[in-house]
């Protein structure tokens, strides 16, 4: 009953498509920016697709298209398997992040009928494209390693710190925040919120023996480069309270850090 209520609400709130769904679900067009490999030119390919129901997601549509024995594009030409990544299909792993109708989103969280038509799918633009909608997001993990965000000893968090740590632990490493960040470049010195959020967890556990380098790393790779527009917070599919984590991390690494210490490169 509750699910039906949610679906009918979604129908009313569907402002993007501007269509009424009284009964039959219309056939949609899905445009996909495809690329066969790293050095290949991208090209658009369109597919016709009829959702099974009004709550079907982009992830489900991609799975069903790939299940077709002989996948054909909108012109009846044979099309190869659409390459994309997924794991949990429950908004928990971040693997299925891609640009959907111009916005970075999780494919398993993007409801087809709520999207602007035609539905346009592109790979994330800040990372090298492996094939079709798959990107190589290694840089996020390399940056995390460079942040040296680890403990030197066991943690003894208070209840208050536990809530903070839990918020920081919700990062999916999806890269959506980096996609919209004007200051993040894959090879640049600014690491963005995909590094700030997990690091904030370590920075704020005051009763533990932190790796002493982390405050320096934070100032150099996060604090110095962030314009604080919070575009990243608005796009985060996990809904992480980035502003809160950032202000407390700034306090720990900058304002309360040892007096007179300056950032690297300043």
Query: Which residues sit at the interface with ligand SF4, rule CB under 6 A?
Result: 94, 171-177, 181, 183, 192-194, 197, 226-232, 236, 238, 240
């996990």: which residue's tokens?
238
- Residue 228, contacted partner among ligand SF4, ligand FES, none, CB below 5-8 A by kind: ligand SF4
- Output 132 or 215, the one with its CB closest to ligand FES: 132
Provide the token pair at 238: 């996990």
Beta carbon of residue 261, minimum distance to ligand SF4 (angstroms, whole number): 22
> CB 141 → ligand SF4: shortest distance, Å?
11
Output 226 or 237, the one with its CB closest to ligand FES: 237
Residue 137: partners with Cβ closer than 8 Å, 6 or more residues away? 124, 127, 173, 175
Residue 87 or 158 having the CB closest to ligand FES: 87
Q: Which is nearer to ligand SF4, 171 or 202 (CB)?
A: 171
Q: Which of 226, 208, 219, 201 is nearest to 256 (CA)?
A: 219
Q: What residue 96 binds from ligand SF4, ligand FES, none (CB within 5 to 8 A, per partner kind)?
A: ligand FES
Token duo for residue 104: 């970075």
Q: How many whole angstroms separate alpha carbon 197 and alpha carbon 242?
A: 7
Choose the one of ligand SF4, ligand FES, none that binds residue 79, judging by a C-beta under 5 to 8 angstroms depending on kind.
none
Selection from 114, 110, 113 nearest residue 122 by Cα? 110
- Of the candidates 187, 195, 250, the one whose C-alpha atom is nearest the C-alpha of residue 219 is 250
118 upstream amide cis, omega within 30 of 0 = yes
* Relative orientation angle of helices 159-168 and 242-250, to the nearest 10 degrees: 120
Q: Write down the least CB distance from residue 161 to ligand SF4, Å.
A: 19
Nearer to ligand FES, 161 or 170 (CB): 170
- The residue ranges that bind ligand FES (CB under 6 A) are 86-89, 91-96, 106, 108
């Amino acid at each position: 009953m509750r699910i039906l209520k949610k679906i009918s609400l979604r129908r009313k709130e569907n402002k993007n498509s501007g269509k009424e769904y009284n009964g039959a679900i219309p056939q949609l067009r899905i445009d996909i920016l495809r690329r066969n490999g790293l050095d290949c030119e991208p090209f658009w390919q369109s597919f016709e697709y009829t959702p099974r129901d009004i709550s079907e997601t982009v992830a489900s549509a991609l799975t069903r298209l790939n299940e077709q024995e002989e996948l054909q594009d909108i012109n009846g030409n044979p099309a190869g398997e659409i390459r994309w990544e997924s794991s949990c299909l429950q908004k928990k792993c971040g693997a299925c992040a891609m640009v959907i109708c111009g916005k970075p989103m999780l494919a398993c969280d993007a409801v087809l009928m709520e999207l602007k038509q035609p539905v346009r799918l592109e790979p994330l633009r800040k990372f090298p494209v492996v094939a079709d909608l798959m990107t190589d997001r290694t840089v996020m993990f390399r940056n995390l390693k460079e942040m040296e965000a680890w403990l030197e000893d066991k943690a003894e968090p208070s209840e208050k710190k536990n809530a903070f740590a839990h918020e920081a632990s919700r990062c999916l490493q999806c890269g959506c925040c980096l996609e919209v960040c004007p200051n993040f470049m894959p090879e640049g010195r600014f690491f963005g919120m995909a590094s700030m959020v997990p690091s904030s967890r370590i920075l704020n556990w005051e009763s533990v023996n932190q790796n002493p380098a982390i405050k320096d790393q934070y100032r150099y790779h996060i604090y110095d480069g962030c314009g604080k527009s919070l575009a990243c917070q608005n796009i985060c599919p996990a809904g992480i309270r980035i502003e809160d984590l950032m202000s407390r991390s700034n306090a720990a690494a900058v304002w309360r850090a040892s007096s007179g210490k300056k950032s690297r490169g300043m």
